[in-house]
Structure 1
Amino acid sequence: MQNPQMKHLMKGAWTLSLAALIAKVLSAVYRVPFQNLVGDTGFYVYQQVYPIYGIGMTFALSGFPVFISKLVAEARVPNAQAEIAHQALVLLTWLSWAMFIGLSVFARPLATLMADPELTSLIQTVAFMFLTMPILATGRGYFQGTFDMSKTAVSQVVEQLVRVAVILLAAYFATKAHWSVYQMGAIAMSGAFFGGIAATLTLWPAYQRRFRQLRFTFPGLAAYQRLLGRFVREGGSIALFAALLIVLQLIDSFTVTRGLTASGVEMVAAKQLKGIYDRGQPLVQLGLVVATSLSATLLPSLTTAYARHQDRRFVQTAGQLLRFNLAFAAAASAGLIVLMPAVNWLLFGDVAGQFALQVNVLSIVFVAMINAYNAILQSLDRYRKMTWSLVVGFVVKLATNQWLTAQYGTAGASASTILALGVITLLLALQVPVMIRRELNQRYFLSKLGLTTVIMVAGVFGSELLLPLDSRLTAVGQAAAGVVFGVGLFITAATKLRLFTIREVLALPLGRRFLKAIQARS
């Protein structure tokens, strides 16, 4: 690839990564003021139906667009690329209408399975979002496949901004007008549809200009069958990995409330407890942003090394990806566990559900490693066994969640999530070539990481004992001091123990400046 073209591609990739980061942060952060406005029961109502939206958003935002961009890039010839995009649009239109009709018709049975028939109107509202999926997924995939990342990036940010605005406005007016939590939830869920419409409007002019003059002939059922097969095998795998946590949350929606009531908890209290349990979702999301955003810089190098048959470089880069993801995820997870009382009080106004949330944030480590293994295996084009690994994990969650919740409350539900993620991580790790698995513990990395994490946790825990926690104001001080002290301790211990090599530090953003600062002190 010519140098100007490579620069254009890398610039586009960074633009898309930045937009995805902004979208993730928005998706996590809005839940805090939302919960503060509507309370734990209102949060429960919203979060019960959110996974249905989340799956549709994943299809339209990161799952199918990535797969369609791959198909478009493979076609190379402009007219062939347009033909592929058109066929994808046809297939996704049928899929989206099937999902819209299915959710609309079966909304009440689904709500009943969630142990709360009053959720029917929310499910019917979120169904409209699926009507925006075909043009969003196809448009984003087509433009990414032709290396025009800016349109996808803008549509992502616009979609999240509009959706979050509608949700927060619904929560605000619900408190002023004294709406029921279900009325509030239905209007908040409409943000998914309006966000999708807004994103569609940002894509449509450019998409229409490209396709307006084209006429497509019917390629025959065989062509659509082949494309559908690839959608299921490859696109389905990509979408499932992107929706991993959301599928686990969907299982929670059907089983946690039932598990709580089966243990003798009254329905009103069960709804509140489920709302408290759902506080863990934005914490895990934010932790994953911290854990994986830096290591994302290695993904282009991984793909390039494999494409150029540079086996040794591929193995080294894969090892770096695993080590970075594990190190940053361990730091984020351990930090949140030790700071949970302050973080819980600061963000949500009390320390309810603390132990369940501490167990839940262990998810950060497993999901970060799953993402790393997924990137490596996708680079090797190994889709089938990857997908089965996910399916096995989902079955474990489904089989254990309600029983563990009935036995141990929401902490049991958190434990079920960790068990499922642990199974998926193990199955994926076994599929990675042995030489890459060995890279994970180069230079006693795991021992050094364990010691670094223990030093950080001990230091932060000790500092927290010196500061009282009796109000939201003191929670701000504890959380802020803990984060600053914890980051400083982790970096210092990692530097002293030589957790990362100089080459690995240089691979990180601002790595060169960090090295210069360390050398200046020594």
Structure 2
Amino acid sequence: MKRKQSNSSASLLKGAAALSIAAIVSKLIGTLQKIPLQNIGGDGVFGIYNTVYPFYTLMITLAAAGIPTVVSKFVAERRAAGDEAGEMKVLSTASWAMLSFGAAGGMLMYLGAPLLAEWIGSSQLIPALRGAAPALLFVPLSAALRGFFQGQKNMMPTAVSQVTEQVVRVAVMVGLLLYFTAQGAAESVVAGSALAGSVFGGAAGLFVMLLYWREYRKTDCGRGDRSAARSGGNKSLLREMLRYGIPICLAALAVPLISLVDTFTLPRLLAFHGDELKVMTAVGVYNRAIPLVQLVTMLATSLSMLYIPVMAELNAKGDQEGIIRHTGLALRWFWLIGLAASAGLAVLAEPINMMLYKDSIGSATFAWVAWSAAPGALAAITAALLQGLGRVRAPAVHLLAAALLKAALNVLLVPQHGMTGAAIAGIAAYGCAAALNLALLLRRTGLRPRLADVLVRPAAAILAMMAAVLLLRLAAAASLPPGRLAALAESLLGVLLGAAVFAAAAVRARLITAAELAALPRYGPKLVQTLRKLRLLR
């Protein structure tokens, strides 16, 4: 019996690891695909895409967020009771509900595209809205099937389908972009083709899930009462699932809200600056830095998830000393990493802009947007720590408050300062979410960080890093010919030098110990050795 439990636990851990890796890979692909999108389509297409995509994300969240969690919970409960017919009934009910919600949402998005574009303030968005709409036929049903297999403690179907969905989506997007740009199509049509990649990706993800479902039905564990799988579910079960799933969905809605604020405010606030295409081009320039900031916050979010079970266990044991120790360490590391990322992106804004997007237009706005990475990383870790301590809803409420602040500041700043105003509003919004989370966390844990540790010494390390990178940039400008290849060299060397100087300065300022730096996987010992050779570390 013990061996069986051990094997089950090991299998579950492997599945969880596969699911985590798949989530990171999927998010990485989804973030970095915006670079070829801008390179092929240009800033106008980029702006239209980034205006519509948050709304598409909202629709997907409404239709499918929480469904895998809900279905997995209900399936696991029935599986534990040996009720295979009940498992099939859960899947059947969820599948019919998702098909209905997805079809209704897709039809609403397609037919309502002209009205929605009018609300947002640009008719350029209509093809993009319609291009993404059919994806709602596939993604919600995939979510139901993923939840079923997760309830079976089989995470591999979800992992494979997630990665497949993203790979197909990006591949089709790039192919359609190349085709329509070669045909000389209008920017709105090209952006619509890019959003259509979501349809093919969603279909591919569903196809993978159906293959796993077919294989499952062939096995002995799938040969139970199939009449439940063929029926349309039942209303009482659906009500029970919705009652459990709606709070999860509402919490998930908080995440895309800040991006959605830009969707509904920027086109109208910028309308007086020129025609609709010029407005979309300005939005595209504004969005150049956002994929890199999202990459930082995505990695921070993924890593912060590791703290949820740790904090939950410490909280259950009543280990207040352990809670304070882990909280202090996590806050310090994520704050320093976020600051270093923000400062590095800001000081290297021009060469990174040139390297990724072929020109340096909007580099000042790029630098402003970069500073949202630090509060974004802090918001991610504080949210995870609060969730681990049982405060699940508070981070979502704080993100809602941040979205409201973003909307208000956009109205105040964008008409006067353009995209720089939107970037400043973004810094303030993520700062608001991080500050509210932090205030609640400090009150809950009793942790009292010192001002010198939080601001003064980190500022000294950041200034040292920025000074070193600026000197490198001056040397590069004097010795390298202008162009994209030179920008690539300047960016990569700047990142390496900045990381080394910041690490050395942080250790000297006792923000990070040499032992903590050496404990970093793979590169930690090499970094410490290099810093000692350069006499930046004792």
TM-score of the superposed pair, with normalisation by structure 1: 0.88
Unaligned segments of structure 1, at least 5 residues: none
Q: Which residue of 2 aligns with 1:256?
A: 266
Counterpart amino acid of 2:497?
Answer: F
- SS class of match (2:359): coil
- In structure 2, the CA distance between the partners of 1:156 and 1:141, relative to structure 1 (3 Å rule), is same
Distance 2:308 2:531 in 1: 28
Q: Mapping of 1:351-390 within 5 angstroms?
A: 351-390=360-399
Answering whether residue 214 of structure 2 is matched by residue 205 of structure 1, we say no
Q: Mapping of 1:145-156 within 5 angstroms?
A: 145-156=151-162
Distance 2:348 2:187 in 1: 31
Counterpart amino acid of 2:54?
Answer: P
Comparing 464-473 with 442-451, which one deviates more in the overlay? 442-451
Check conservation: 1:46, 1:185, Cα contact below 8 A. Answer: yes
2:173 to 163, 167, 172: 167
2:132 to 105, 126, 151: 126
Answering whether residue 351 of structure 2 is matched by residue 338 of structure 1, we say no
Distance 2:354 2:371 in 1: 19
Answering whether residue 324 of structure 2 is matched by residue 321 of structure 1, we say no
TM-score of the superposed pair, with normalisation by structure 2: 0.86
Counterpart amino acid of 1:247?
Answer: L
Comparing 155-164 with 316-325, which one deviates more in the overlay? 316-325
Answering whether residue 110 of structure 2 is matched by residue 104 of structure 1, we say yes
Counterpart amino acid of 1:249?
Answer: S
Distance 1:318 1:86 in 2: 43
Answering whether residue 311 of structure 2 is matched by residue 302 of structure 1, we say yes
Check conservation: 2:60, 2:140, Cα contact below 8 A. Answer: no
Check conservation: 1:292, 1:325, Cα contact below 8 A. Answer: no
Q: Deviation at 1:258?
A: 1.6
2:121 to 115, 120, 132: 115
| Aligned-residue CA RMSD (Å) | 3.2
Q: Mapping of 1:233-312 within 5 angstroms?
A: 233-237=247-251, 239-241=252-254, 244=255, 246-262=256-272, 264-306=273-315, 310-312=319-321
Partner deviation per Cα, 1:395-428 (whole Å, 9 max, x = no partner)? 2222332442111101111122222222222222
Partner deviation per Cα, 1:180-238 (whole Å, 9 max, x = no partner)? 2222222221111110111111112333425674444888645433432322213421x
Check conservation: 2:300, 2:380, Cα contact below 8 A. Answer: no
Q: Mapping of 1:210-225 within 5 angstroms?
A: 213=224, 214-216=226-228, 221-225=235-239
Q: Which residue of 2 aligns with 1:187?
A: 193
- In structure 2, the CA distance between the partners of 1:74 and 1:518, relative to structure 1 (3 Å rule), is farther
Answering whether residue 252 of structure 2 is matched by residue 231 of structure 1, we say no
Q: Mapping of 1:46-65 within 5 angstroms?
A: 46-56=49-59, 64-65=67-68
Counterpart amino acid of 1:225?
Answer: R
Comparing 99-108 with 297-306, which one deviates more in the overlay? 297-306
Distance 1:71 1:386 in 2: 26
Q: Which residue of 2 aligns with 1:475?
A: 487
Counterpart amino acid of 1:323?
Answer: R
Answering whether residue 501 of structure 2 is matched by residue 489 of structure 1, we say yes
Distance 1:280 1:201 in 2: 34
Distance 2:485 2:317 in 1: 55
Q: Which residue of 2 aligns with 1:44?
A: 47
- SS class of match (1:465): helix
Distance 2:444 2:518 in 1: 23
Comparing 156-165 with 392-401, which one deviates more in the overlay? 392-401
Counterpart amino acid of 1:496?
Answer: R
Q: Which residue of 2 aligns with 1:142?
A: 148
Distance 1:415 1:257 in 2: 17
Counterpart amino acid of 2:51?
Answer: Q
Counterpart amino acid of 2:154?
Answer: D
Q: Deviation at 1:169?
A: 0.7
- SS class of match (1:466): helix
Check conservation: 2:72, 2:147, Cα contact below 8 A. Answer: yes
Distance 1:201 1:55 in 2: 23
Q: Deviation at 1:266?
A: 4.0
Q: Which residue of 1 aligns with 2:35?
A: 32
Q: Deviation at 1:128?
A: 0.9
- In structure 2, the CA distance between the partners of 1:201 and 1:259, relative to structure 1 (3 Å rule), is same
Percent identity, please.
Answer: 29
Q: Deviation at 1:36?
A: 1.2
Q: Deviation at 1:284?
A: 1.3
Check conservation: 1:60, 1:136, Cα contact below 8 A. Answer: no
- SS class of match (1:287): helix
Comparing 159-168 with 119-128, which one deviates more in the overlay? 119-128
Counterpart amino acid of 2:509?
Answer: L
- SS class of match (1:467): helix
Unaligned segments of structure 2, at least 5 residues: none
Comparing 276-285 with 46-55, which one deviates more in the overlay? 46-55
Q: Deviation at 1:272?
A: 1.7
Q: Deviation at 1:346?
A: 1.0
Q: Mapping of 1:413-432 within 5 angstroms?
A: 413-432=422-441
Check conservation: 1:60, 1:137, Cα contact below 8 A. Answer: no
Distance 1:506 1:94 in 2: 53
1:399 to 372, 383, 408: 408
Distance 1:461 1:304 in 2: 45
Larger radius of gyration: 2
